[in-house]
Chains A and B, each alone.
Chain A
Amino acid sequence: MLLLIQYTLIFASVLVLVALGGCFSEHSGVINIGLEGIMVMGALGGALMMKYLPAGLPAFAVILLVILASVLVGMIFSLLLGVAAIQFKADQTLVGTALNLLGPAAAVVLVRAINTAESVDNVSSTVAYGQAKKSFILNIGKFEFNWFMLVAFALLVAAYIVLYKTKFGLRLCACGEHPQAADSVGINVYKMRYAGVLISGGLGGLGGLVYITAGVSEWKFENGVAGFGFLALAVMIFGQWKPVNIGLAALLFGLFRALSNVYTGFDALVALKLPSTLYNMLPYIISLVVLVFVSKKSRAPKAEGIPYDKGQR
């Protein structure tokens, strides 16, 4: 049971972070389908940082540096979306899809190049980071507390405050609802949209890092992040683009994802004799069902997906 809670919380943290990323981007008016690719790149940044950090640093410094690396890489990668979608008015779905393909491909090429440079026979795309990972974890009895759970929660609160209680957040939302109106009162729509995309890149990158450090101590980048970026988008829609609801939705989805890891620990579930593949499918099936119920009266930002053109009326 404790294990289930632990996994639920860590997967929920991933989903919260990435879904909040999507939330910021969409509130500014840019659909970010590329979160999956951004997660992979952020994870890569964090993993490489962990790999090359000198041993013996205090845990706090490790956590800070690794988070910084993944956030930065995620932001830089999300700029690809920003430039194409905001500056060049590209089709946001197309560019997002390109990012999803670009992220894993670039990560595999890079990691393999690093591995092959270390020894010619090593053609795997795996990065091991067992040592550094220990800094993230605090054992409370049998419960493995991960600092990222706290980080995710803190960011959730911060996102709520930023979006609803600050000038910046309200302006950001205005750009996603009616950019022309926002522009007419002196808000720079382009700048706001860049801000939205960059924030989503940072949060997405951090989410990717948390995902690969959840449970395992090495990551094979060929696997990408198994559709978690899209699950996060489903969480975001289920949460109706509102931080608090996103937090609750993430807990629900995290629970179903965690079940596939730990269902063998529950006698009642084992007795059902369902194939393990079914548990793997569960999060995706649930999200489809959930989407059916919530998509009808969607509260999506009105102007999302439409490139902003100053001359348009």
Chain B
Amino acid sequence: MHKDGQKKEAILRNSGFQTILASLLCIIIGLLIGYIVLLIINPGGAGKAIVAIIKNFLYYPSSAAAMKYFGTTLVKASALLMCSLSVLFAYKVGLFNIGAAGQYVVGAGACLYFSLNLGMPWYVCLIAGVMMAALAGGISGALKAYFNVNEVISCIMLNWIGLYCVNMLLSQVKEQSTPYTKSLTSTNKSALLPSLGLSKLFSDNEFVTIGVILAVAMAAIVWVVLEKTKFGYELKATGMNKQAAKYCGMREKRNLILTMMISGGLAGFGAGIFYLTGIEQWMVQQTSVPAMGFNGIAAAFLGGLHPIGTIFSSYFIQHITSGGTYVDKTMYCTQISDLISAFIIYLCGFVLFFRIWLNRLLDKRDEKQASKERKGGEA
């Protein structure tokens, strides 16, 4: 009995377990708030709507159709995973990369331009997307390193500049009659990512490609780089204390810029593996930055700022975002899932407090137990 108690406490004190517990709490409270909002809008269908959001592709009765939409969710989730890795990488080095959204846009622009206008094969397009996005990230990094410009504000400005530039660039490769870019399938088949038979697994969903696997592999690589290499250690040291890092002989300015470049590159990679499947065409009259990068912030924090955790959290965020399209549209709108994920990010702000509170609670219990035992011994 006593031993069991100790074991339980050891688990409760484990920081990994605490992170998972906190994230699950965020999800539950977030969904609950979403449910309450639905209830307020229209009490009649709220239960059904929240179930639809959670079920997402399971909404389809036939398993083949469900599998197909599962594939689509996976493709979107892999792009989201890359964005959240981008946010995570910068955050680990003490930078808040709110520009993942803009870097994603720049990556998408470069990929689509290289494939549609220059007719390049997919790997060239992907590399181009990563390079351009890295450049966009690098600008913020350089501004921070050399001019002390707050990276959050410079990133936001670059988000808008990037969006307008990409719209201008892609206007050259748009279809005559619509505001969308030409489709990859009809213009340049070689730019489509190879599927390697993966699409067969998902009821011939042609959008499921090696991109999904590459994204998961990237998560593992990011983890290794950050935790197991000297390079990652140096970056993290720079983030914790710039002066100390400089004193130790690290080149702190170079590290800052490099971090933002890698972070941008990751976001650009996400755009590549999304747009090079041909799943969506770019709308050149877009007036707002795609939500992918901002959702990446949600996923990164929900995943406990751990690369492996973000795999699951990215999937979850995308799952409910896609699920939002299945709510009864005569009563509710699809943005309800955006609202839920925004609430989840907000709740993530409380995670630190939650952990301190939990540890304090455990300490108190320990003390009580210790004093009780002492008393027992005296008597």
Contact = CB atoms under 8 A, between A and B. Distances in A.
A98 B345 contact: yes
Given A227-B160, A288-B158, A295-B147, A94 B349 contact: yes
A107 to B, nearest CB: 9
Given A109-B37, A277-B168, A91 B349 contact: yes
Contacts of B346: 80, 84, 95, 98-99, 102
Contacts of A95: 346, 349
Contacts of A223: 287-288
B326 interface: no
**A113, A222, A296: which has the most chain B beta carbons within 10 Å?**
A113
A187 B293 CA distance: 41
Contacts of A120: 330
A6 interface: no
Interface string B23-43: 000000000000001000110
A90 B353 contact: yes
A105 B338 contact: yes
Nearest to B353: A88
Contacts of A296: 147-148
Nearest to B332: A113
B152 interface: yes
B127 to A, nearest CB: 27
Given A98-B343, A230-B157, 16 more contacts: A84-B350, A88-B353, A90-B350, A93-B96, A97-B96, A99-B346, A109-B41, A116-B330, A120-B330, A227-B159, A237-B153, A281-B160, A287-B153, A291-B157, A295-B147, A295-B150
B153 A230 contact: yes
A102 B343 contact: yes
8 contacts: A80-B346, A88-B349, A91-B349, A94-B349, A105-B335, A109-B336, A230-B157, A291-B143
A178 to B, nearest CB: 21
Contacts of B336: 109
Nearest to B346: A98
**B159, B160, B287, B297: which has the most chain A beta carbons within 10 Å?**
B160
A22 to B, nearest CB: 11
Nearest to A101: B342
Interface string A252-282: 0000000000000000000000010110110
A23 to B, nearest CB: 15
Contacts of A93: 96, 152
Given A106-B339, A277-B168, A280-B164, A112 B333 contact: yes
B331 interface: yes
B167 interface: yes
A285 B330 contact: no
Nearest to B289: A227
A277 B353 CA distance: 45
Contact of B333 (A100, A109, A298): A109
B111 interface: no
Nearest to A121: B330
A227 B41 CA distance: 29
Contacts of B164: 277-278, 280-281
B352 A89 contact: yes
A123 interface: yes
Contacts of A91: 349, 352
A284 B161 contact: yes
Interface in B277-309: 287-288, 294, 297-298, 301
B157 A284 contact: yes
B289 to A, nearest CB: 9
**A106, A123, A226, A295: which has the most chain B beta carbons within 10 Å?**
A295
A16 interface: no
B167 A277 contact: yes
A230 B346 CA distance: 19
B329 interface: yes
A88 B353 CA distance: 6
A277 B160 CA distance: 11
A49 interface: no
Contacts of B37: 109
Contacts of B352: 89-91
A140 interface: no
Interface string B154-178: 1011111100110110000000000
B345 A108 contact: no
B333 A123 contact: yes
B330 A291 contact: no
Interface in A104-132: 105-106, 108-109, 112-113, 116, 120, 123, 125
Contacts of B314: none
A161 B336 CA distance: 43
